[in-house]
Structure 1
């Protein structure tokens, strides 16, 4: 082999090695709220933890990329994605028609109904429909009948919701004129006001309420009301990506599908929620 050919092969080998290393060390930055336990929260020492933090690590491993999860306030999370401050969102974000107008979604990787958090000593603890489940997409009449039944007890009460969420949209449509709806920046804030007696109930995702109920200070509270999904509550929780990021969306879709099929999503669901939120169908 002549010297020129040897040098050429060496250069080619170096280029291929650099390319391979680059592919293996690609970093995807994922934003989460860091204040929505047990989906995502800030633990000891400021470390991000929760169902979505664990799932993000699993999905990134399947996609053969490095995963960096960062905290971002909820009310600016979509604008910051479109401003390219990060590549994706995993923050308990439900897939809704309104959000799909400005971003795309991969998934869903989870699905959970809403519910009310109330004190066991409150008249609201006897809210009708507790233990029942309805879909606004496939059982709209029955679901709205159950919602109307709850409004009898909610009349004149104050209900806390996190702003700019499917739950604030739900409250705006179904509770306006019945209860006073008070919006909060985070779920932690409305939980604190409920514990202090400043509001009568919290309307939130049932899984978030389950996480709250595990705290010692909420031992005298309960999750009540019918479990409502679908309609304006969206089609499950997914990964938000910028419109046009088709390859990233496909990679997340493939990884999510694999994580559902091999039971990883179920395992992480049981770890963090004590119930299985794996999307059905």
Structure 2
């Protein structure tokens, strides 16, 4: 009888607990993960501190959200799973907002939207591919994409294309060129760029503003754009902060902070400083 009463009491307590309203978490400190190696979005300074567009924007966002933020570096590969495992609270690493990613994490409103492009050596036979200097806008429809890039598919048949693994750009390359070219994945974009310079691969494909920064690096200054810039809804809604789905209060705080940064010109000012173009969505 005592055992039965104890079990019943425990069950009632659990039921009462389950029925109680969830307490909103009071966010005072937040840990934000960046790659620290994707200039000019984010980079690691010689003294070990983080610099670039996103760390400077993070400072504004955290002050506006009234939370103390700690910035840490994290390898791109596995960043989303590490977020969901609770190793940090926010991803801020030029993270494109896509339907696939929305299935596993939440996103803030976008704070940037940028095109992607191919790059190769300035004296490469692949320099000045069809469409160089123009921009095309694509949707997520793969059949439409293949039709729009048919000239590029022909030019890159039998070539090797380098991409950073687990990015939206990797999916685009596999979907559109995986059947005609060799695709080589890299842990970091910087490693990939050096292989283009060394002639180990033929072209790179990446975020356009990242590549502009790569062209300014003495080690990769011999690279240049080739072919058209590729923009549009193919890359999702833009780049936003990634959060765990359950952290709705934190998302609301940073949604408001991003909207403020867009409205008062902070995003434009920082993007002109770091990218030389306005990347505000």
Q: Which residue of 2 aligns with 1:261?
A: 263
C-alpha contact 2:107 2:243 (8 A) present in aligned 1? yes
Superposition pairs of residues 126-165 of structure 1, within 5 angstroms: 126-137=128-139, 144-165=146-167
2:46 to 44, 47, 67: 44
SS of structure 1 residue aligned to 2:82: helix
C-alpha contact 1:29 1:87 (8 A) present in aligned 2? yes
Please, which moves more after superposition, 204-213 or 25-34? Answer: 25-34
Q: Which residue of 2 aligns with 1:215?
A: 217
Q: Which residue of 1 aligns with 2:106?
A: 104
1:83 to 82, 85, 88: 85
Deviation at residue 219 of structure 1 after TM alignment: 2.9
Structure 1 moving runs of 4+ over 3 Å: 138-146
SS of structure 1 residue aligned to 2:86: coil
Deviation at residue 67 of structure 1 after TM alignment: 1.4
Any idea what the Cα deviations from partners look like across 1:96-138, whole Å, max 9, x if unmatched? 1111000000020011111011111112112111222222239
Structure whose residues are more often helix by fraction: 1
Q: Which residue of 2 aligns with 1:190?
A: 192
Q: Distance in 2 between matches of 1:164 and 1:138?
A: 17
C-alpha contact 1:114 1:206 (8 A) present in aligned 2? yes
1:239 to 232, 238, 241: 241
Any idea what the Cα deviations from partners look like across 1:208-238, whole Å, max 9, x if unmatched? 1011001123332211222222444222100
Deviation at residue 58 of structure 1 after TM alignment: 0.7
Q: Which residue of 2 aligns with 1:69?
A: 71
Question: Does residue 272 of the first structure (1) align with residue 274 of the second (2)?
Answer: yes
Q: Distance in 2 between matches of 1:209 and 1:81?
A: 27
Q: Which residue of 2 aligns with 1:15?
A: none
Deviation at residue 143 of structure 1 after TM alignment: 5.2
Superposition pairs of residues 197-212 of structure 1, within 5 angstroms: 197-212=199-214
Q: Which residue of 1 aligns with 2:10?
A: none
Normalised TM-score (structure 2)? 0.86
Q: Distance in 2 between matches of 1:267 and 1:170?
A: 30
How many residue pairs get aligned? The number is: 257
Deviation at residue 85 of structure 1 after TM alignment: 1.1
Unaligned ranges ≥5, structure 2 = 1-24
SS of structure 2 residue aligned to 1:110: coil
C-alpha contact 1:81 1:89 (8 A) present in aligned 2? yes
Q: Distance in 2 between matches of 1:141 and 1:197?
A: 31
Question: Does residue 227 of the first structure (1) align with residue 211 of the second (2)?
Answer: no
Q: CA RMSD in A?
A: 2.0
